[in-house]
Amino acid sequence: MKIIHTVSGLEEALQQVRRQGESIGFVPTMGALHEGHATLVRQSVAENDFTVVSLFVNPTQFNNPEDLRLYPRTPERDHRLLERLGADLLFTPSVEEIYPEPDRRVFDFGLLDKVMEGRFRPGHFNGVAQVVSKLFRFVQPDKAYFGEKDFQQLVIVREMVRQLQLPVEIVGVPIVREPSGLAMSSRNARLSAQERENAAQIYRVLHDSLALKEACAPVKLAEWVVGEINKVPGLRVEYYEIVDGYSLQPVSTWEESGRSVGCVAVFCGAVRLIDHISYR
């Protein structure tokens, strides 16, 4: 596996790949890799001739400086994992390499980034769009792989690709969970053993809510989910919204959406976790 730190080095390496007519798969990450990331890389390796993984903690998508400072970084372990998974190239740029000057672009995603994560993390998705669009320009992949755990992000990346008319297929990969049901996340590394046990109750409540769908309107079901999660010691719900899986707007009846998705953000101690469940 090649490890490249500069945009010029990346573009030079990929020119040779394209000359050989090979397809390129791309997995953008912020490092602290876990089995969820590994699933993305395995799928890219299976579906493409050449797989690029980026490892870059993007400062423009953190609206909380403390969250950026505490974000886990495990580069040596990440490198070893990617070698084992069969990635062909790892791109690990510096902040100065990605942002030689401030990126002042402002994206308009309509209502997609005004709800849920966008409401509580202003500027987050604009930062995501800045870095992902830059990485797509550098790598020019045929396919790019994103975890469905970050459900709202996946919808917004697809919208960004549509707006910019980029020739890349966005592949969403289902959530990978720990045996307890907890959605895998780099932030899980910051949880204590007791907090992990508490956090596993998030998915238990989401899963239990499926059985109540027929008896409850979305608003009532959302109230039940929030109440049940907040009963767990150490957990505090920031939001739980049942939305249309395409527009991301709240639904008031099950009939008004062909795909209803319940999205949640929960503080477990000081660590903020997200998850979702599909009601179909």
178 occurs within a structural domain: no
Residue carrying structure tokens 């299976």: 46
Mean pLDDT (10-residue bins), the chain, 280 residues: 98 96 97 95 98 96 88 93 98 97 96 96 96 98 97 98 98 97 94 97 98 96 98 98 97 94 97 96
- The residue from 124, 147, 173 where one domain ends is 173
Structural domain total, the chain: 2
- Three-state DSSP class for 209? helix
Q: Is 5 a catalytic residue?
A: no
Beta carbons of 169 and 141 less than 8 angstroms apart: no
**Residue 26 and residue 112 in one domain:** yes
The pLDDT value given to residue 65? 87
In the structure encoding, which two tokens stand for residue 222, read together? Answer: 């959302």
Based on the domain organization, do 255 and 125 belong to the same domain? no
Q: What is the pTM of this model?
A: 0.95
Residue 102 belongs to a domain: yes
d(CA 210, CA 203): 11
Give the active site residue among 34, 37, 79, 276.
37
pLDDT of residue 64: 84
